[in-house]
Amino acid sequence: MEYVIAAVAQAVLQRWRVGVAGVEQVEFRCGRGTEVVGDSDAAIVGFQMAHDRYGGVPEIGRAQVLRNHRNDGYPRHIVTTPPFPAGPEIDDEAELRTRLQLLFETCFDAVQRHNENAGAQRMTSLFLHVEGVGLDRYGQVAASAFHHAVQRTSRIEQSSTRQQ
């Protein structure tokens, strides 16, 4: 999978460059969403905006792949973030990293499930606009969580490939 990480603010991109150092196939772009999405196959979009714009019904703890029929400059596939049950604000950094890693892993799992039977509609590049999804407020913690989720997903993909 190729990952495109974008932000409007250079400072945000710099934190993510540091946080995902070592992850292969990552490209960084500076600008607003539709200006920098390029030819990505899919975009991670916060569940509220995704379901408002592209349909579907949010399900607690589940990321979904929605089809973009809007011709709005975003990719043909929209990967919704999973909504989590309501609860108190998370103040502990380790707990926040765990929650954000779960968010990314759930999105990556949705992409893998989609790709299992997608044929020519497989997703090979995934766009994430840090500010667009609201992750900029979490700084380095979100970038680190993304990094760990990519590593976990890569290990699972490699393991399943060996078993086939």
> Could you give the domains of the chain?
2-84+92-163 (3.40.220)
Question: What does the block give as tokens for 113?
Answer: 């499930």
Give the chain's largest Cα–Cα span.
Answer: 43
pTM for the predicted model, two decimal places: 0.94
Task: Quickly count: other Cβ atoms within 10 Å of residue 70's Cβ.
Answer: 11
Q: Please write the tens of the pLDDT for every residue from 66-107.
A: 999 999 999 999 999 999 988 888 989 999 999 999 999 999
Main-chain phi, psi angles of 88, to 5 degrees: -70, 155
Pairwise pLDDT comparison (155 vs 123), residue with the higher score = 123
Task: Quickly count: other Cβ atoms within 10 Å of residue 37's Cβ.
Answer: 20
